């Protein structure tokens, strides 16, 4: 499944493989920052994850070497919010998924307080630490 933004460019891709649903945020030029269309596409992907009994786990990742820069502030300043009624930010923060979801963080990520995080090389990427 591929969901497109208002510009017609896909922002979230999903791929099912052997009981795993890989959900990829695909806005590398914006460091995978989440805008409204991306939040809606993500919510659709999480619905897909929970609606298929053959899926055992979901993996959330970002394209282009960055997990996510968080909220797209440029879009938000124009009135485009990634916080959806019900499921919350990015279609996820207030959602209770039945199916486990793992974040495959590669490169930079931003936590909810705005701190930049990166994989800790000493732990072989298993833990994140503030930059």
Q: Work out the average pLDDT over 82-98.
A: 91
Mean pLDDT of the region 30-49: 95
Q: Give residue-wise pLDDT tens across range 72-89.
A: 999 999 999 999 999 999
Please, is 83 exposed, middle or buried when counting C-beta atoms within 10 Å of its C-beta (0-12, 13-18, 19+)? middle
Find the helix or strand (DSSP H, E) in which 37 lies: helix 36-51
């Amino acid at each position: 499944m591929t969901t497109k933004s208002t510009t017609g460019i896909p922002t979230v891709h999903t791929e099912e493989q052997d009981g795993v649903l890989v959900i990829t945020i695909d806005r590398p030029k914006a460091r995978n920052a989440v805008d409204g269309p991306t939040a809606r596409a993500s919510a659709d992907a999480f619905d897909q994850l929970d609606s298929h009994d053959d899926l055992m786990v979901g993996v959330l990742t970002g394209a282009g070497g960055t997990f996510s820069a968080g909220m797209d502030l440029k879009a938000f300043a124009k009135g485009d919010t990634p916080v959806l009624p019900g499921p919350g930010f990015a279609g996820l923060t207030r959602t209770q998924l039945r199916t486990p979801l793992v974040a495959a963080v590669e490169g930079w990520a931003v936590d909810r307080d705005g701190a930049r995080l990166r994989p800790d090389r000493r732990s072989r990427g298993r833990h994140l630490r503030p930059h």
